């Protein structure tokens, strides 16, 4: 998936151009004229090394994020993740568990359905094969993820004992305040002007 993201980013740069100026022209494609309301967009034209380097750098950043999320998803247990969350974030944790288990189920269902189609002598490649496999794959992955979340909810993962409403509201307010503080402190550390307040707020 990370490799596909990188290739798509480079292909868009070649086909649609890039706002990054460059002096090292690698090739010149035929440019298709566009109407005046599509200013800032071009189809074809010059492809420079600087534009490809910039697009590759941005694509690599997104690819790295995808690889890190995939590795964390492969190594982490959704049940342990939900069990370790505080009660105030339980509902959000269930949504995260569903999201984290959706992609692996999607991949396993694609492999299973493609193998089944090959055994039946049906094509599993091309647009037709993709369309006939896509809907069952999405349906199966979503059903498994929702079933996992329902099973965890039934077993009480992440639940705590009954607490008074005042304590529960205070916990929720403090948790949201802490998350906002983390966001503001991180923003302060990443900006040049916020270096003075970034660390204290964080």
Q: Which pLDDT score is estimated for 60?
A: 92
Do 153 and 116 sit in the same domain of this protein? yes
What's the burial of 125, exposed, middle or buried (CB within 10 Å: 0-12/13-18/19+)? exposed
For residue range 188-199, what is the model confidence (pLDDT) as tens digits?
888 777 667 778
Tally of domains in the chain: 3
Sorting pLDDT into bands at 50, 70 and 90, what band is 165?
A: confident
Do 143 and 156 sit in the same domain of this protein? yes
The residue segments making up the domain with residue 124 are 77-160
The chain-wide mean pLDDT, for the chain, equals 78
Q: Which pLDDT score is estimated for 7?
A: 92
Specify which of 56-60, 97-101, 132-136, 171-175 reaches the highest per-range mean pLDDT. 56-60
Do 89 and 36 sit in the same domain of this protein? no
Do 130 and 66 sit in the same domain of this protein? no
Sorting pLDDT into bands at 50, 70 and 90, what band is 158?
A: low
Give the end of a domain, one of 74, 98, 115.
74
Cβ contact 20:47 at 8 Å: no
- 45: nearest Cα among 16, 82, 69: 16
CA distance 141 to 148: 11
Question: ∠ CA(63), CA(48), CA(44), 5° rounding?
Answer: 90
For residue range 111-122, what is the model confidence (pLDDT) as tens digits?
788 788 778 777
Do 139 and 187 sit in the same domain of this protein? no
């Amino acid at each position: 998936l990370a490799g596909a993201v990188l290739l798509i980013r480079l292909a868009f740069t070649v086909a649609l151009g890039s706002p990054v100026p460059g002096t090292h022209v690698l090739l010149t494609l035929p440019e298709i004229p566009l109407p005046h309301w599509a200013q800032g967009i071009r189809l074809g034209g010059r492809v420079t090394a600087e534009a490809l380097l910039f697009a590759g750098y941005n694509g690599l950043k997104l690819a790295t994020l995808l690889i890190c999320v995939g590795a964390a998803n492969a190594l982490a247990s959704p049940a342990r993740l939900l069990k370790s969350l505080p009660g105030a974030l339980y509902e959000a944790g269930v949504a995260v568990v569903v999201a984290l288990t959706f992609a692996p189920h999607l991949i396993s269902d694609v492999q299973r359905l493609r193998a089944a189609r090959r055994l039946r002598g049906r094509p599993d490649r091309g647009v037709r094969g993709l369309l006939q496999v896509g809907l069952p794959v999405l349906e199966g992955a979503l059903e498994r993820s929702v079933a996992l979340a329902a099973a965890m909810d039934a077993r009480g993962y992440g639940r705590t004992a009954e607490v008074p409403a005042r304590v529960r509201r205070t916990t929720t307010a403090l948790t949201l305040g802490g998350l906002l503080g983390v966001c503001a402190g991180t923003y302060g550390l990443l900006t040049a002007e916020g270096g003075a307040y970034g660390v204290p707020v964080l």
